[in-house]
Amino acid sequence: MFRSLRRALCAAAAALLVPLAGAQTAHAADPGAGYWHTSGRQILDAAGQPVRIAGINWFGFETSNHVVHGLWSRDYKSMIDQMKSLGYNTIRLPYSDDIFKSATVPNSIDFSSGKNADLQGLSSLGVMDKIVSYAGQDGLKVILDRHRPDSAGQSALWYTSAVPESTWIANLKSLAARYDGQDTVIGIDLHNEPHDPACWGCGDTATDWRLAAQRAGNAVLSVNPDLLIFVEGVQTYNGVSGWWGGNLMGVAQYPVQLDVANRVVYSAHDYATSVAQQSWFSDPSFPDNMPGVWDKYWGYIFKQNIAPVWVGEFGTTLQSTVDQKWLAALVSYLRPTSTYGADSFQWTFWSWNPNSGDTGGILKDDWATVDTVKDGYLASVKAAGFPSTGTGGDDGGGDDGGGSTAACSAVYTVSSDWGSGFNAEVKVTNTGSGAISSWKVTWTWSGSQQITNMWNASYTRSGSTVTAVNAAHNGAVAAGGSASFGFGGAPGGGAVPSVSCTAA
């Protein structure tokens, strides 16, 4: 992303403005099987069903740790399980070319108390293999992102003096071959955030990112022709500048053309003021001006049915009102044609990690607690998960043998209360002996509280009694596992009610 101090830890800030969020509708059975391809602005699975990437960035392989962050705190499987429980269906994994060096060793992994036990002694690529395998078992897809040439920092161009284009392409081909036949890995993001002096369509092979993407994309497809090729934008086109990697205006005149048809997905990055200021944030019409801004830079590609568009990174600390309005507007923009349907933009939020200095993450600084306000903004554009591609038994399938009893408990917690309103979170835990496929939670308020919005569940109300039912993505909970939903309400100051939970 577009920033210099992206690794500094920052305290997660509580936001009082609560987003508009809604429940999800059902999707076609088991979308996402096999390798994917494009058709116009849609991504289709092997059976021709449209699919939608609604995922999260989990960074670290591109840093000096040479492995995803947070493993110093938790087991990697619990991280992936939590991503799934929150309704994210894809993981974008940034990496640097350092992980291909024989001397590179992943560090800062906690192996105590049995955590990450099967990662001991593995190289960075070996750990990546484990993450890909378990993500596939959980029904998540993976996009590999060549984020940096080395762990020292991002580069404007796809090559540096230390990491030439030949190394970049050789390592891309190596990854394509490594995961050939493993359709959990759906594609590769060729290079993160090309920016000035990178150009699009200028014809100079040293700086024309579009030409470089064609060379690299064809090299990848020569090894694994089933992969999607994700191509980010540049910073400046014809004198018009925007976010690093976020300017795809040149696609209209100079589309990426690969040897294998129906493989190109264009990727844009978009951020708020916690990352940097842009002119559109001070426009008197903000945030109503934002759809026009996005249309100009990258949205037109989708709207004109040229190709799919994936917003590979977007994020914010949510500390300012401007940023809150920006995120609400962007979420609305990401589902323009069919609410909650597959015919819409693709996305992966930045980031899962809390230690992204100018955005924070979905997790808070303890690497376990969910920022329910931030996650709540995304609830209405989350999407169905995908079929498991694994054969292991540790993917949360549970024991569905005879005699198992469906049961659950729920805990209601007020996360913030400012008098005129409040936010609350309810954690549902499967207390039965086998997996459950659905749950509902009921409570009765003693005062005049009303729900203003809810995320990761839907609700009905009868008098002062509220019944909340799981969303499409979080009804299935393994034995001993949990799922959460949240809501905003008004007025504040009310007592915490008793809650009951039923499961099926």
Question: Active-site residue numbers?
Answer: 193, 313
Write a three-state SS string for 14-80.
Answer: CCCCCCCCCCCCCCCCCCCCCCCEEECCEEECCCCCEECCEEEECCCECCCCCCCCCCCCCCHHHHH
238: left (phi over 0), alpha (psi -120 to 50) or beta: left
Which alpha helices (DSSP H) does 179-278 contain, by range? 209-223
Q: Which residue has the tokens 């659950």?
A: 408
> What is residue 279's three-state secondary structure?
helix
Could you count the other beta carbons within 10 Å of the beta carbon of residue 11?
A: 10
The neighbour count for residue 272, using CB atoms within 10 Å, is 25
Supply 502's token pair: 């039923």
Separation of alpha carbons 488 and 474, rounded Å: 19
Report the C-alpha gap between 392 and 166 in whole angstroms.
Answer: 38
Cα(359)–Cα(275) distance, integer angstroms = 7
CA-nearest of 282, 356, 372, 367 to 326 is 282
Contacts of 78 (CB under 8 A, 6+ apart): none
CA–CA dist 193, 212 (Å, integer): 14
**Around Cβ 248, how many Cβ atoms within 10 Å?**
26
DSSP 459-482: EEEETTEEEEEE-TTS--B-TT-E
Most distant CA pair in the chain: distance in Å? 70
